[in-house]
Amino acid sequence: SGFENLRRLGIFDKIETVTVAPADYDSVHRALRVAEPDEVYNLSGQSSVGLSFQFPSETLESISVGNLNFLEAIRVIGRPVRFYNACSSECFGNISVAADGTTPFRPRSPYAVAKSAAFWQVANYREAYGLFATSGILFNHESPRRGIEFVTRKITDHVARIKHGLIDELRLGNIEATRDWGFAGDYVRAMWLMLQQDEPRDYVLGTGESHTVREFLAAAFSFVGLDWEQFVEVDPRYFRPVEVEALLADASKAEKLLGWAPKVAFSDLVK
Ligand code: GDP
């Protein structure tokens, strides 16, 4: 899927790729020897909270073992490689106020448990070995290239097909959940900024604004002049064993130290 995106963007031919199996230490070590990177951005691993309930072992292996292998290979190789780990707002679990760097983790899915382990691995390698290793605790970040297993693209994909008369309904799970949704491009800029600082630090990144799935639906259907309530069915099949009901970020530290603020607002994101 990564390569499809790169091909579609026309940049696949301009870059060199090395294939890595992150859960296999030798593979990671070899890739770092070959590429000799100055910076590593680890975005690998299971990325769907929903799927993590179906594949709990694969989730832990791909996220936590994968992350550990990068840290350990960087330590063993001994070159000054700067490391970014993709942590997640899911680590907070249910929160009633905006989460910042002092909010405790209470993970509620195999995905969030694995991401929490990876967060502490990064902190441990930073403390124990002085690695320039950081975690970005990112709230939901979306784009047209997001897979349709996520609710934003599932909605916009269905809206387009309903508008063109190809289908006539959209079945969803919990539409009362709230999320802090931002644009992926804004978050990638923040990841890069994190590795350009003098000190390695962890950052919470989000827009500070939250919306329900219902609000996302209403906005998406209204952009094509349709009323969502005529097309949407709530289907318990899409409910999760446990659900994070609400997520909201306090990204003031990133604003202050990185000079970062998201540029794309909710309604533009949906559009
Ligand atoms: P997540 O926040 O990383 O789990 O991102 P998702 O886009 O997968 O889910 C966001 C929210 O939408 C969660 O609270 C889901 O329970 C809710 N949701 C409701 N219906 C659906 C659905 O059909 N698919 C997905 N993926 N999420 C849904």
pLDDT at 266 over 80: yes
Looking at ligand 1, which residue's alpha carbon is closest to its atom 17?
174
Question: What is the residue-averaged pLDDT of the chain?
Answer: 96
Gap from CA of 151 to ligand 1 centroid (Å): 5
In short, whether 189's Cβ falls inside 6 Å of ligand 1 is no
- Record the tokens describing residue 213, joined without a space: 């799935």
Q: How confident is the model at residue 2 (pLDDT cuts 50, 70, 90)?
A: low
Instruction: Report the pLDDT value the prediction gives residue 249, as an integer from 0 to 100.
Output: 97
Gap from CA of 54 to ligand 1 centroid (Å): 15
Q: Residue 115's closest CA among 143, 142, 93?
A: 93
Mutate to test the pocket of ligand 1, among 150, 210, 214, 247 (most ligand atoms within 8 A of CB): 150
In short, whether 50's Cβ falls inside 6 Å of ligand 1 is yes
Task: Note if 203 is an active site residue.
Answer: no
In short, whether 172's Cβ falls inside 6 Å of ligand 1 is yes
pLDDT at 1 over 60: no
pLDDT, one tens digit per residue, over 156-193 is 999 999 999 999 999 999 999 999 999 999 999 999 99
- Percent of the chain having pLDDT more than 90? 92
Q: What ligand 1 atom has the least distance to the C-alpha of 109?
A: 4
Q: How confident is the model at residue 135 (pLDDT cuts 50, 70, 90)?
A: very high
pLDDT, one tens digit per residue, over 44-53 is 999 999 999 9
Out of 2-11, 75-84, 145-154, 257-266, least confident range: 2-11
Looking at ligand 1, which residue's alpha carbon is closest to its atom 12?
151
In short, whether 214's Cβ falls inside 6 Å of ligand 1 is no
The mean pLDDT of 64-92, rounded to a whole number, is 97
Looking at ligand 1, which residue's alpha carbon is closest to its atom 25?
151
Q: Is the overall model pTM greater than 0.85, yes or no?
A: yes
- Pairwise CA distance, residues 248 & 103, whole Å: 12
Task: Note if 116 is an active site residue.
Answer: no
Task: Note if 96 is an active site residue.
Answer: no
pLDDT at 9 over 90: no
Instruction: Report the pLDDT value the prediction gives residue 8, as an integer from 0 to 100.
Output: 87
In short, whether 49's Cβ falls inside 6 Å of ligand 1 is yes
Instruction: Report the pLDDT value the prediction gives residue 6, as an integer from 0 to 100.
Output: 86
Gap from CA of 247 to ligand 1 centroid (Å): 12
Q: How confident is the model at residue 3 (pLDDT cuts 50, 70, 90)?
A: confident
Q: How confident is the model at residue 226 (pLDDT cuts 50, 70, 90)?
A: very high
In short, whether 150's Cβ falls inside 6 Å of ligand 1 is yes
